[in-house]
Amino acid sequence: MKNILYISPFTYIGGGEISLLILLKNLDHQMVRPFLICYAEGPLVQKAKKLGIKSAVLKRNYLFSSIFIVLKIFSYIKKNSIHLVHVNCFDIRAGIAARLARVPLIGHLRVIIPFTWRDRLFVRLSQKVIAVSNAVIDTFCRGRPSYRDKFEMIPNAVEIPNSLTPVPLRKEYDIPEDTKLVGSVGRIDPWKGYEYFSRAAALIKKQRSDVFFFIIGDVSQRDREGRAYLDILKKQAAELDLKDRLFFTGFREDILKVIKTLDILVVPSIVIKKYGGEVTEGFGRVAIEAMAVEVPVVASKIGGLTEIIENNVFGMLVPPGNPNAIAEAVLSILTDKIKAKAMGKAGRKRVEESFTIQQHADKIKKLYLEILKERYEQKCR
């Protein structure tokens, strides 16, 4: 039995946290005894405890907190005889603590963001980094080919339900039963491109009066930028005369059932240029969730989304930041029932072939065994 410490600086529930919970739930528990450290109380800790995962919270609310966290992680590793540390992102404090404790370190790169010297140092400290897409690896290693040997691409996975009862969204929002529902799902963040989804909704509304729209997601109370963005989106919806047509649901626990209710899922993510790099979609977990429940996807042709979706097979890829292209793609699927059904079936098959939990867990288990074997052999030399 190997003791594996998982570290997640974030405790709100986003795509990365959902993926971590799926991994914790589906590990080979005859081989792995998981532990979890977060840097704040929150939903991730609560859900992990419900799974029976031993969890600890290291709060960062005073001077020298980074030094405190390094020392506490180091102490935790020693006290619990941890064999390997797996960080659900890049956190240099966790990396330093693992190095001081002389245990192997794995990072998990799920996003495309402007990378810093801390991120590069973390990669150097790690034995391996799991990347959710080739797009993530290409972005990080751009101009630094020597880093590529550190990376292994293991895509996210999704639970594939055998049967699923859709949520009665129409009843919840007092929408006629003979209408079409188009939604976008994810954390409320500017790079998610929801303003382009709203503009596309306004264009679709001009051509069809039977289509209703949903933005399904929430924002952390600490995220000022996200809350300001949500306010802008709601104001925009009113200006586009979508008040009775576009609904903001907030966070939903029953997300697969909600997606199953939709006729089309839209992933309108964009690329935002920032100092030192760009922010965009590293994978697009919600796309495989929709495909798993046979819902066609319209997504931006960026980042990891291009590795998930084959255009006109599982869904349609459109230029990012282009509401006209989104509207055109949505309308083409809505007006062709045979095409929509074929996309849904093909998407489900794609998930069953490439994004199952068993495949995901087996690949990570294999990586753990390789790293632990290598460390054991090094100690024996």
At how many degrees (to 10) do helices 194-207 and 224-239 cross? 20
pLDDT along the chain (381 residues), means of 10: 91 85 88 92 90 87 74 94 94 95 95 92 96 95 89 92 87 93 94 96 95 91 82 95 93 90 97 86 93 96 94 95 97 95 95 93 93 70 58
Looking at 110-245, which runs of residues are DSSP E strands? 128-131, 151-153, 180-185, 211-216
State residue 27's pLDDT score.
87
Contacts of 32 (CB under 8 A, 6+ apart): 1, 2, 4, 365, 368
* Helix, strand, coil distribution of the chain in percent, nearest 5: 45, 20, 35
Q: Give the Cα separation of 23 and 339 in Å (integer).
A: 34
Q: Give the Cα separation of 196 and 364 in Å (integer).
A: 36
**2-157+356-380: CATH number:** 3.40.50.2000
* Three-class DSSP category at 152: strand
Domains 2-157+356-380 and 169-354 share a fold: yes
State residue 67's pLDDT score.
84
State residue 380's pLDDT score.
59
State residue 225's pLDDT score.
84
- Cα–Cα distances in Å, from 359 out to 9, 40, 110, 117, 175? 26, 31, 18, 33, 40
Q: Give the Cα separation of 298 and 314 in Å (integer).
A: 9
Tokens of 317: 């890829």
State residue 163's pLDDT score.
81
Q: Do 240 and 199 contact (CB within 8 A), yes or no?
A: yes
Fold of 169-354: Rossmann fold (3.40.50)
What secondary structure does DSSP assign to 20-82, as a single string?
Answer: HHHHHHHS-TTTEEEEEEESS-SHHHHHHHHTT-EEEE----STTHHHHHHHHHHHHHHHTT-
Q: Give the Cα separation of 129 and 88 in Å (integer).
A: 10
Q: Give the Cα separation of 5 and 80 in Å (integer).
A: 9
pTM of the model: 0.90
Domain regions of the chain by residue span:
2-157+356-380, 169-354
What are phi and psi for residue 378, nearest 5 degrees? -65, -40
